Amino acid sequence: MPNHLEQAPALQVSQWFNTANPITLDALHGQVVVVHAFQMLCPGCVTHGNPQAVRIHEAFDRKDVVVLGLHTVFEHHAVMGPLALEVFIHEYRIPFPVAVDTAAIGSSVPLTMQAYGLRGTPSLVVIDRQGFIRLHHFGSLDDLQIGVLLGRLVSESANPT
């Protein structure tokens, strides 16, 4: 594995939806993880990012690729709380686990967003089977591009020799 790849930081989550138990990246080691960072009031998230994340979730076997939503609120905090998010997840039929990024004291930018250096939403972070960040992208991304990357990462061994 090249030394220039960055190990994915832990997710700092205050609440989970669509899962009975909290999820950690350590527990997902050996799988490719797609983290879709979004906000409910982000037009690009609603029209592109969320539908793309659902398509990825539906296209790959969960033993190979796990999609996680990360609701990372850095603006309009008062109207994007957990109750509104729960309704949003139901109404938009988001089938994968969704984490609420932990708010930062003294900053409008939540902790996971800071740790990953996310510039906004929608953002897509792809973590390989060994836990290294292989894609860190802000804005929309073509389905074919992400599909090719995920196919390549799925074919890689979880334990390179």
Give the tens place of pLDDT for each residue, 46-78. Answer: 999 999 999 999 999 999 999 999 999 887 667
**Structural domain spans, the chain:** 29-119+134-154
Residue 24, exposed/middle/buried by CB under 10 A (0-12, 13-18, 19+)? Answer: exposed
Please state, for a pLDDT cut of 90, what percent of the chain lies above it: 84
Of 81 and 88, more confident: 88
Maximal CA-CA distance, the chain: 49
More confident residue, 62 or 2: 62
What pLDDT is attached to residue 80? 73
CATH architecture type of domain 29-119+134-154: 3-Layer(aba) Sandwich (3.40)
Residue with tokens 């139901």: 90
Q: Each residue of 102-139: pLDDT tens digit?
A: 998 998 899 999 999 999 999 999 999 999 999 999 99
